[in-house]
């Protein structure tokens, strides 16, 4: 089992092959002393507070509590001081720092009210407790005492600010099949989260992912109270940097549908409950969740009916199979919100997605708001759909159409956006479209006057739990079938889009065709470009 080690800022990133072990233990050795520093079920980990000087790391894989493989050893030299901070309240914080065997004391410096760093105080305690300012930068330097009171500084930390770590919200809702869905919205830095029942010493759930925000809890009474703790993995063991207040079963608030979230569903019995739980955990109260069952042959409808019965803001619609575009259209027609958003039946949304988008689109009086996406892959999270716009300010939609389908700005997804209901209801997705996102997104955006942009990823496109999409199935069609599907999608928005934006839409279509040409020898792509140029469509 090969172990890879790299320095990432002031942290150490370890990664290794996933050999389907139950869990992995991470060890480090310094001066012949071996110490266990972390346990994880992932195949990578970030470790903070690496000890100053030389050391080495290795990993052991366990199955049924027995070691099945030990990794190679990787040496490191850490020549700085790393820090982890924990805020106690708005004025007080703790600073945890790397060990430095040679140091007698640590001196804290700050640039409060100054452009340069000045000494604050000397410390021997671990951690250091200070009164802090969020605007102030700090540095920590270990030193030895020299002759005549001279301090010999060994190294220094990078400048750092005190991070305000905390839970913005934590909710607990009833989930399908007598389960509980626990969700949280966390602000600050963390490597993972641990869930405890009230007064328990040991966690009932742990996740080693700083972006996680929900967990399905099984076999707990509905009266159980839970606490969520955020932690950072360090060479000294786990440090908890924030703790939520105890949370008990929540009652979903709902008065009127300000926003409608539309979820088309098809044979998704293994995923749909998780997606609905994610939507219910939204911190936006007046959210209508419209779920359209597109002719499923499994237990999808049974699950949807349960949520429809238990939550007043969930609307269930059942239809014969007509495809995802038809299902979205049916949901749009039934929706009552002033604004409309979309979600697929195997994805997740962040707890603050709806509220963040709603606040921005209302504040800026826009027709559309757009945000990046987290793509969840087996190898981890990555960010898609970042755009070169300032955050939370209005833009003319032409600015977006000018870059759509240019290199790096593909961004045709329907579900990383929120739309004013009038433009959506007046321009429904076409029935029978195979590439409904490619076809409908440019079409409906061409009717929008203004858009705004948010820089934080708010939607989670999950390709880890369900790696194959409907698009993947279509992509395995023959070259001829594939061309016809793509042609249908592109001609849809040229012919149905805003006539005043037709020049933009033709350019967008040709950009997309040029991308297809790079991976296909079918001459019909070039022929279609010529037909578009000659005004056939």
Q: Has residue 6 got a pLDDT over 70? A: yes
Res 317: pLDDT: 98
Q: What is the pLDDT of residues 92-142, one digit of tens each?
A: 999 999 999 899 999 999 987 777 788 789 999 999 999 998 889 999 999
Residue of 66 and 463 predicted with greater confidence? 66
Cβ–Cβ < 8 Å for 4, 16: yes
Beta-bridged to residue 289, according to DSSP, are 261, 314
- C-alpha–C-alpha distance, residues 162 and 92, integer Å: 10
Q: What is the pLDDT of residues 500-534, one digit of tens each?
A: 999 999 999 999 999 999 888 899 999 999 999 99
2-11, 326-335, 490-499: least confidently modelled range: 2-11
Please provide residue 211's backbone torsions phi and psi, each rounded to the nearest 5 degrees. Answer: -95, -5
| Mean model confidence pLDDT for the chain | 93
For tokens 């340069």, name the residue.
116
Res 341: pLDDT: 98
For residue 114, give the 3-state DSSP assignment. coil
Res 511: pLDDT: 93
Res 208: pLDDT: 86
Res 475: pLDDT: 64
Considering only CA atoms, which of 117, 248, 60 is closest in space to residue 172? Answer: 248
Q: Has residue 449 got a pLDDT over 80? A: yes
| Averaged pLDDT for residues 228-232 | 96
Q: If you classify domain 83-153 with CATH, what class do you get?
A: mainly beta
Q: What is the pLDDT of residues 392-411, one digit of tens each?
A: 999 999 999 999 988 888 87
Domain-wise residue ranges, the chain: 3-78, 83-153, 166-243, 259-462, 478-533
Q: What is the pLDDT of residues 421-444, one digit of tens each?
A: 999 999 999 787 878 889 999 999
Question: ω before 386 within 30° of 0 (cis)?
Answer: no
3-state percent helix, strand, coil for the chain, nearest multiple of 5: 25, 35, 40
> What is the crossing angle of helices 502-517 and 436-445, to 10°?
150
Q: What is the pLDDT of residues 335-380, one digit of tens each?
A: 999 999 999 999 999 999 999 999 999 999 999 999 999 999 877 7
Q: Has residue 472 got a pLDDT over 70? A: no
Res 520: pLDDT: 87
| Averaged pLDDT for residues 450-461 | 97
Considering only CA atoms, which of 179, 185, 172, 190 is closest in space to residue 226? Answer: 172
105-119, 155-169, 234-248, 394-408: least confidently modelled range: 105-119
- C-alpha–C-alpha distance, residues 454 and 390, integer Å: 8
Considering only CA atoms, which of 288, 278, 292 is closest in space to residue 312? Answer: 288
For residue 501, give the 3-state DSSP assignment. helix
Q: If you classify domain 259-462 with CATH, what class do you get?
A: alpha beta
Res 74: pLDDT: 95
- Return the DSSP state at 404: T
* Token pair belonging to 159: 């400048």
- Which listed CATH number (2.60.40.10, 3.40.50.720, 3.20.20.70, 3.30.70.20) goes with 166-243? 2.60.40.10
* Token pair belonging to 255: 């008065």
CA 441 to chain centre: 22
- C-alpha–C-alpha distance, residues 448 and 479, integer Å: 34
Taking the CA atoms of residue 311, residue 415, residue 383 and residue 403 in that order, the dihedral angle to the nearest 10 degrees is: -160
- Return the DSSP state at 178: G
Find the length of the chain.
537
In the chain, what is the straight-line distance between the N-terminal and C-terminal CA atoms, in Å? 58
Exposed, middle or buried, 160 (CB in 10 Å: 0-12/13-18/19+)?
middle
Residue of 62 and 8 predicted with greater confidence? 62
Res 41: pLDDT: 85
CATH number of this structure's domain 3-78: 2.60.40.10
Domains 3-78 and 166-243 share a fold: yes
**Residue 471's pLDDT band (cuts 50, 70, 90):** low
Strands 380-384 and 373-377: antiparallel
Cα distances from 465 to residues 347, 375, 376, 460, in angstroms, run 9, 12, 9, 12
DSSP 414-455: STTEEEEHHHHHHSPPPTT-SSHHHHHHHHHHTT-SEEEE--
- C-alpha–C-alpha distance, residues 214 and 212, integer Å: 6
- C-alpha–C-alpha distance, residues 178 and 100, integer Å: 51
> What is the crossing angle of helices 272-280 and 300-310, to 10°?
20
């Amino acid at each position: 089992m090969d172990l890879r080690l790299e320095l990432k800022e002031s942290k150490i990133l370890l990664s290794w092959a996933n050999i389907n072990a139950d869990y992995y233990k991470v060890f480090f050795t310094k001066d012949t002393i071996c110490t266990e520093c972390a346990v994880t079920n992932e195949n990578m980990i970030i470790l903070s507070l690496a000890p100053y000087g030389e050391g080495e790391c290795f990993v052991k894989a366990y199955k049924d509590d027995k070691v099945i493989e030990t990794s190679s050893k990787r040496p490191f030299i850490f020549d700085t001081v790393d820090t982890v901070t924990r805020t106690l309240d708005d004025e007080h914080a703790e600073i945890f720092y790397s060990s430095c065997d040679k140091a007698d004391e640590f001196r804290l410096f700050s640039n409060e009210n100054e452009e340069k760093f000045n000494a604050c105080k000397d410390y021997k305690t671990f951690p250091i407790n200070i009164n802090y300012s969020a605007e102030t930068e700090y540095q920590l330097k270990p030193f030895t005492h020299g002759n005549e009171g001279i301090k010999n500084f060994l190294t220094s930390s990078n400048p750092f600010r005190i991070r305000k770590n905390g839970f913005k919200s934590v909710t607990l809702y009833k989930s399908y099949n007598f389960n509980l869905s626990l969700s949280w919205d966390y602000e600050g830095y963390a490597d993972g989260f641990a869930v405890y029942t009230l007064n328990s010493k040991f966690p009932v759930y742990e996740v080693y992912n700083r972006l996680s925000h929900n967990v399905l809890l099984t076999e707990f009474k509905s009266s159980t109270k839970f606490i969520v703790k955020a932690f950072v993995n360090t060479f000294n063991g786990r440090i908890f940097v924030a703790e939520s207040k105890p949370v008990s079963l929540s009652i979903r608030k709902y008065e009127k549908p300000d926003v409608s979230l539309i979820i088309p569903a098809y044979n998704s019995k293994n995923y749909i409950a998780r997606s609905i739980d994610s939507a219910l955990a939204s911190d936006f109260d007046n959210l209508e969740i419209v779920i359209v069952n597109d002719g499923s042959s499994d237990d999808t409808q049974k699950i949807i009916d349960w949520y429809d019965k238990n939550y007043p803001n969930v609307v269930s619609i059942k239809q014969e199979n007509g495809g995802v575009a038809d299902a979205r259209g049916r949901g749009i027609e039934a929706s009552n919100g002033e604004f409309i958003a979309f979600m697929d039946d195997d994805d997740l949304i962040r707890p603050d997605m709806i509220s963040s988008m709603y606040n921005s689109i209302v504040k800026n009086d826009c027709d559309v708001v757009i945000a990046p996406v987290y793509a969840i892959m087996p190898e981890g999270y990555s960010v898609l759909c970042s755009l070169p716009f300032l955050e939370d300010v209005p833009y003319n939609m032409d600015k977006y159409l000018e870059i759509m389908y240019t290199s790096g700005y593909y961004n045709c997804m329907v579900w990383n956006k929120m739309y004013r209901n009038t433009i959506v209801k007046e321009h429904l997705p076409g029935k029978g479209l195979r590439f409904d996102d490619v076809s409908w997104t440019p079409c409906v955006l061409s009717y929008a006057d203004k858009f705004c942009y948010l820089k934080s990823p708010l939607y989670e496109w999950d390709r880890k739990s369900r790696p194959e999409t409907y698009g993947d199935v279509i992509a395995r069609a023959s070259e001829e079938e594939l061309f016809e599907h793509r042609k249908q999608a592109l001609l849809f928005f040229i012919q149905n889009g805003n006539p005043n934006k037709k020049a933009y839409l033709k350019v967008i279509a040709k950009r997309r065709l040029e991308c297809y040409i790079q991976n296909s020898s079918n001459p019909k792509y070039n022929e279609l470009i010529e037909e578009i140029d000659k005004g056939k469509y």
